[in-house]
Amino acid sequence: MNEFTAKFGDLGCTQDAHRSACGIINDLRASSRLRKLALPTTGSGEFRLEITSMNGPKINLCIGLLAVGGLGLAQEASSQVFQTGGPLGTTNEAGQAVAITDNVRVFGSFRFAESCTFDPDRNLILAMNAGVSQAQQENDGYVSLVKPDGSVHTTKWIGATRDGLTLNHPLGSAIRNGLLYTVDADVVRTFDLATGQPRNSFQVPEATFLNGIAVTNDGTIYASNTRPPERVFKITADGRSSVLVDGAPLAVPNGVAIDPDGNIVVVNIGDNAVLTFNANGTLVRTEHAFEGGNDGLVILEDGTKYVSSVRFGSVSRIRPGRSAEVIAAGIPSAASMCYDSVQHQLVIPMNDHNALAFIALED
């Protein structure tokens, strides 16, 4: 960590210097030499500029340039607030905002879409995008709003700006009680479902790679940890975490869902097991998908389970008391899917294929 501390009044900052310093920072971001920039205020007009980089000498040079330029950069940064993006549209020649017309459909907007969840009140799919690689740029995750026909409503709803937002690599997601939940490395993050505003963030000690997530009506969170140690964590509504399941029969655990009886169901990447645990973490049932390598898990009100294989591309249906049957196949990187309860369809993100697959279910 390189640090530089100064007072605004000592620097005689100018607007031109402000632009120059911002340009330096943007150039560093673009060239991947800037890994982290923090601009906390320290009170009394004083600020501390903290830069974490992969190249110390070049950052040191930039610190010198920033010192000469002065700037109220930290002051400006501290006043920035979180904002969501709007539906697709433009500004016309007269300077008026114009929404995209109903005869146009736009598809895409994804960058490594890992999971989705469905908001029935707005009849929209929320797709979680990891963005670019963390090695290239941290804090690039975002959430797209997608219409049930697959066309784009809002390209970047959460993530339109990075002001007031930390969302690095969102994977599994869930909606419960007016909140959007997602796992992000070793953190569970929540957002207001109506406004997109960030809410709570709960760090999970000993988590190495949180992946799947499910949430009960009382706000209890269950999250799988895919990399060793292979576990399912339980996180209370106020953020206290504990281990629900540790080790076998977990085998690279991934998707998590709650069944109609309140049990916690987990699928493995390492095999084709579909594991049902009670609230105490006791295994009460083992079923099997058609193939292994599983990621997505949807459970309907009648107990029917749908399982997507991210490794092999199939979607299995497991009706209560029956063996698995394949209802779709050949879907590249079939990741953490969601159920659209209005259109009665499965929606399946396809990771680095940057797409969503749609499967209409039988009535």
| Structural domain contains residue 275 | yes
Residues 147 and 211 in one domain: yes
Residues 139 and 99 in one domain: yes
Q: At what angle do helices 15-30 and 56-69 cross, to 10 degrees?
A: 170
| Structural domain contains residue 284 | yes
What is the pTM (predicted TM-score) of this model?
Answer: 0.75
The CATH number for 48's domain is 3.30.70
For the cut 60, the answer to whether the pLDDT of residue 76 exceeds it is no
Q: Which residues contact residue 93 at a Cβ distance below 8 angstroms, ignoring those fewer than 6 apart?
A: none
203-259 pLDDT, tens digit per residue, is 999 999 999 999 999 999 999 999 999 999 999 999 999 999 999 999 999 999 999
For the cut 60, the answer to whether the pLDDT of residue 4 exceeds it is no
SS3 166: coil
- Two tokens at 243? 């281990």
7-62 pLDDT, tens digit per residue, is 333 333 333 333 344 444 444 444 444 444 444 433 433 334 444 444 443 333 33
Would you give the DSSP letter of residue 90?
E
Strands 221-225 and 231-235: antiparallel
* Domain of 62, in residue numbers: 2-79
- Two tokens at 164? 């007031």
Residues 75 and 108 in one domain: no
Q: Say if residue 229 is preceded by a cis peptide, omega within 30 of 0.
A: yes
Residues 75 and 94 in one domain: no
